[in-house]
Amino acid sequence: MRTPWFAVVALGFTLLVAIEGHRGGLEQGSFKAFYCAGSAIASGANPYLVEPSRSCYHRVDTTTHIAPGGVEPAPLPGYALAPFVLLSSLPVRTAQALFTVLLIAALITSAWLIGSLTRVPYAVVLLGLLPLGYLNIAYGEIPPLLLAALTGAGYLLARRRWAWASVVAAGSMIEPHVGLAACLAMFLFVPRCRLPLLLCGVALAALSVATLGIAENWAYLGAVLPSQAIAELVANDQYSLSRILSIAGVQDRTALLLGSLSYALMLALGVMLARRLARRLKAPELVIWFPAAAVLFGGTFVHDVQMIAALPAAFALAARARRLQALAYGALVALAFAWTLSAGRMEVLLSITSSVAIVALGLAGAPHWRRLTVALSAGVVIAGALLIAQYLVGADPGHARSALLTASASMPDALASVNWGAYLRAMPTLSTPSLGIELLKLPTWAALITLVIVASRQAPREARAS
């Protein structure tokens, strides 16, 4: 019975996205930024500068309404921008449709792989991925591709396909700060993956040089990444420690330094626990999945759309944890919910459905009436919390629109990330902190901490047993 329900959910979601796309409900502003970066590369220009990306962006974007002087940057490394060079040769509508299909396929494939390894019903896994999956599709973001790389590498690792697992894991470097954690753990703890990972690293570096050239790659590391991190310190959809410190009045450089240190700490903790978890729970995929989840807590650059990368580890722990399993299910519910300011009816509906399905799964063995009552109650309570937080944000008098940009940030040869920082700071709706905004982040932060606690309670027995 697993497969038919999975097919129904997959087909229903695909039709839903198609209808929303036809109605113009998918802004996909980030995809258009990547598309324009690819177009800039194809024309021999620097994709990290304001021009020609800004002109392209305002030509192809008709929904996000960024101020005329602003442009959304594409702060991806050269190897990650290479596919968008190919897509930029197509009309933007065609490229957008292909990208959307790719994201849907990534979600469906990831759900199948997670279900295969954890033995959680495929339909429940897919329902758990859909709230954040839809959010990514609506904004044209790439984390579903990261998710597919993580789940695919975990599946291949569990099947002892060392070389292919390494190749697929290298694909997770499309989001470097998350992919690095997964690849590092593989390199340290799976000796047969070391050489393939090194070769993949060389290949990615060569692709970056071939795509951008040496000078632009150095500029990406030395200027683009730091300026993007500074720009995003004020973004309301940031979950990083650096943003919290910035709100508290800490200077930008200090906030970024402390955020980087927290990333290093969570990276080390995630990698250390991953090996023990994989052995204790007999789940080799956790070598890849758990570090990717751990590094999403703290850091310098973490968005709501990237939290989807924590779901494979959350599903695995909920299904296999021998201690604190109820907490693991609670963390899974919180991580699967789309706690976002801009959540519309579709995100809320998908989130409630996801919550009900996961809670019902966690109550397996209980009477049907109890499972249904508790699951529905949980969905209603969580949705109510989201709506209350959104009301608090909407009631905040500081959220007035503005379109001011500084002259220096608007110059054609300025970094697009600097321009983006000026734009965010000129838009109170995107950058002004409020009680409601921060309340929306608490469930996700608490869920990530809970995953670490649950993981740590599984690990000690393995150490004694060895």
pLDDT in tens, 25-38: 778 889 999 999 99
pLDDT in the model for residue 391: 55
Tokens for 94?
């065609």
The answer on pLDDT for 104 being more than 80 is: yes
pLDDT in the model for residue 297: 95
Query: Residue 415 forms beta bridges with which residues?
Result: 49
SS3 per-residue string spanning 260-276: HHHHHHHHHHHHHHHHH
Neighbours of 180 (CB within 10 A): 17
Virtual torsion, Cα 421, 423, 428, 432, nearest 10 deg: 0
Tokens for 63?
């929904």
| Residue 222 per-residue DSSP state | I
Residue 260 to residue 15: CA distance in whole angstroms: 41
Residue 246 to residue 230: CA distance in whole angstroms: 10
Compute CA distances 354 → 77, 182, 343, 365, 382, whole Å.
33, 26, 15, 19, 11
Report the SS3 class of residue 238: strand
Residue 369's pLDDT band, with cuts at 50, 70 and 90, is: very low
pLDDT in the model for residue 29: 83
Please compute Rg for the chain using Cα positions.
Answer: 21
The answer on pLDDT for 82 being more than 60 is: yes
Query: In this predicted structure, which of 39-43, 172-176, 227-231, 456-460 has the lowest mean pLDDT?
Result: 456-460
The answer on pLDDT for 395 being more than 50 is: no
- Please name the residue that has the structure tokens 């599903």: 315
Among 228, 253, 215, CA closest to 418: 228
Tokens for 389?
């937080």
Among 297, 270, 316, CA closest to 157: 316
Residue 22 to residue 320: CA distance in whole angstroms: 41
Note whether 429 and 235 are within 8 A (CB).
no
Note whether 134 and 20 are within 8 A (CB).
no
Look at phi and psi of residue 347 and say left if phi exceeds 0, alpha if psi is from -120 to 50, else beta: alpha
Note whether 364 and 463 are within 8 A (CB).
no
| Residue 322 per-residue DSSP state | S
The answer to whether the Cα torsion of 193, 196, 197, 198 is positive or negative is positive
State the average pLDDT over residues 31-53: 93
Tokens for 13?
């979601």
pLDDT in the model for residue 462: 41
Neighbours of 372 (CB within 10 A): 15
- pLDDT tens track for 414-450: 889 988 888 888 877 777 777 767 778 888 999 999 9
Among 408, 421, 418, 417, CA closest to 73: 417
Report the SS3 class of residue 205: helix
pLDDT in the model for residue 407: 62
Most confident range, picked from 290-294, 319-323, 389-393, 394-398? 290-294
The answer on pLDDT for 271 being more than 70 is: yes
- The shares of helix, strand and coil residues in the chain, as percent rounded to the nearest 5, are 75, 0, 25
What are the two backbone dihedrals, phi and then psi, of residue 352, each rounded to the nearest 5 degrees?
Answer: -65, -45
Residue 243's pLDDT band, with cuts at 50, 70 and 90, is: very high
Residue 347's pLDDT band, with cuts at 50, 70 and 90, is: confident
State the average pLDDT over residues 190-199: 96
Note whether 335 and 310 are within 8 A (CB).
yes
The answer on pLDDT for 340 being more than 80 is: no
The answer on pLDDT for 461 being more than 50 is: no
Q: Could you give the percent of the chain with pLDDT greater than 90?
A: 57
Note the helical H segments in 140-251: 143-158, 162-171, 176-189, 194-212, 214-219, 225-231, 241-247
Most confident range, picked from 175-184, 346-355, 386-395, 407-416? 175-184
Mean pLDDT of the chain: 85
State the average pLDDT over residues 325-344: 81
Query: In this predicted structure, which of 118-132, 214-228, 246-260, 381-395 has the lowest mean pLDDT?
Result: 381-395
pLDDT in the model for residue 366: 46
Residue 286 to residue 366: CA distance in whole angstroms: 29
* Higher pLDDT, residue 367 or 146: 146
Residue 396's pLDDT band, with cuts at 50, 70 and 90, is: very low
pLDDT in the model for residue 463: 43
Residue 138 to residue 135: CA distance in whole angstroms: 5
The answer on pLDDT for 129 being more than 50 is: yes
- pLDDT tens track for 279-309: 999 999 999 999 999 999 999 989 989 999 9
pLDDT in the model for residue 413: 82
Report the SS3 class of residue 72: coil
The half-sphere exposure of 40 on its side-chain side, counting CA atoms within 13 A, is 27
